[in-house]
Amino acid sequence: MSWIKRHLITFAAIAVLIYMLVPNVIVAVFSFNDPAGKYNYTFNEFSTEAWTNPCGAQGICESLGLSLQVGVIASLAATALGTMIAFALGRYRFRGRSATNLLIFMPMATPEVVMGSSLLTLFLMLGVPSGRTAILIAHIMFCVSFVVVAVKARVATLDPKLEEAAADLGANPTQTFLRVTLPLAAPGIAAGALLAFSLSFDDYIITNFNASPSSITFPMYVWGASARGVPVQVYVIGTIMFLLALIVVMTGQLISSRRNRQVA
């Protein structure tokens, strides 16, 4: 009894972890299903049909392609904008600092439905057509703040003495930045970019306000499918995304732990 009591937190943690991972297991298992009807909700028969033909459902790979394209462009742009802001906030004292911090915080504290709909009213007023460009503008906007938070956390831990040392050794400010500061801040920038990509790739609510019938992203495809009947291919892509994410995150962890070992 006391053994159980001592490990109570561990058991609770494992239970919560299971709660978080069960849907991913279900998605993986159901990617091998041959459903009886239009919906892939009950397991009928084992089949590798969807895995051998992942683009078999109409429009699914086009939507996936658009989401990847938007995700890459939006995360690169947001990472560039966000990293610059993070350096300004982390390294300089200037007037308007607290206003800047507030402006960075606000998009994270605004419900997506408000951001999406307000952007729609702006585009309506300016006559900007909905579609890929509108989606990109929106995605860059809501990703910037998250990049700032990720990069700022890293910049705050950097030792200014390393940059001073570079300057003492005759490096000019550009060299110092490129050879010392940027490599040191890289893990934070990578984390911010990854976060931005996943936020962009996964967004449905804001995208839906700015998309046109010819710009269906992957989440919009899934949403539409949830009303008409969900093809098994959706589960295949979900599983691949989960595995890819695991590989990317674990590789990142490995690289950083190896780095730490080298430093130590």
Partner 1 sequence: MAETAVLSTGSAAPPSRRRRNWVPYALLLPGILWLIVFFVLPMVTLASQSLQEGNVDDGYVFTANFSIYVDALKQYWPQFVRSFVYAGIATGLALLLAYPLAYFIAQKAGRHKNLVLVLVIAPFFTSFLIRTLAWRTILSDDWFITTWAQNLHITDFLQAVGLTDNDSLLNSQFAVIMGLTYNFLPFMILPLYTSLERLDPRLIEAAGDLYASPWQTFRKVTWPLSLPGVVAGTLLTFIPAAGDFINARLLGNTQTTMIGSVIDAQFLRVLDYPLAAALSFILLILIVAMVSVYVRRAGTEELL
Binding to partner 1 (CB under 8 A) within 63-102 occurs at 80-82, 84-85, 87-88, 90-94, 100
Count residues binding partner 1 (CB under 8 A): 94
**Of the residues 38, 59, 65, 124, which one makes contact with partner 1 according to CB under 8 A:** 124
For residue 46, the SS3 value is strand
**Of the residues 57, 135, 140, 196, which one makes contact with partner 1 according to CB under 8 A:** 140
Q: Which residues 188-227 are close enough to bind partner 1 by CB under 8 A?
A: 198, 201-202, 204-205, 208-209, 218-219, 222-223, 226
φ and ψ at 46, to 5 degrees? Answer: -70, 135
Judged by CB under 8 A, the stretch of 49-57, 68-76, 141-149 that binds partner 1 is 141-149
137 touching partner 1, by CB under 8 A: yes
Judged by CB under 8 A, the stretch of 49-57, 68-76, 244-252 that binds partner 1 is 244-252
CB of 41 or CB of 46, closer to partner 1: 41
Q: Which residues 151-190 are close enough to bind partner 1 by CB under 8 A?
A: 160, 163-164, 166-167, 171, 173, 176-177, 181
CB of 48 or CB of 250, closer to partner 1: 250
Q: Is 197 exposed, middle or buried (0-12, 13-18, 19+ CB in 10 A)?
A: buried
Token digits for 29?
A: 């298992």
CB of 49 or CB of 202, closer to partner 1: 202
Length of the chain in terms of residues written = 264
3 touching partner 1, by CB under 8 A: no
Q: How far is the CB of 187 from partner 1 (least distance, A)?
A: 14
Q: Which residues 47-66 are close enough to bind partner 1 by CB under 8 A?
A: none
DSSP H stretches of helix in the chain: 2-6, 8-30, 49-52, 60-91, 97-105, 112-126, 132-157, 160-168, 173-176, 182-202, 205-210, 218-228, 232-263
| Nearest-angstrom CA–CA distance, 253 and 119 | 37
CB of 53 or CB of 253, closer to partner 1: 253
Integer angstrom CA distances of residue 190 from 34, 91, 101, 154, 196: 39, 19, 22, 11, 10
**Of the residues 2, 19, 98, 183, which one makes contact with partner 1 according to CB under 8 A:** 19
Question: CA 196 from chain center: how many Å?
Answer: 4
Question: CA 103 from chain center: how many Å?
Answer: 21
| Nearest-angstrom CA–CA distance, 160 and 15 | 43
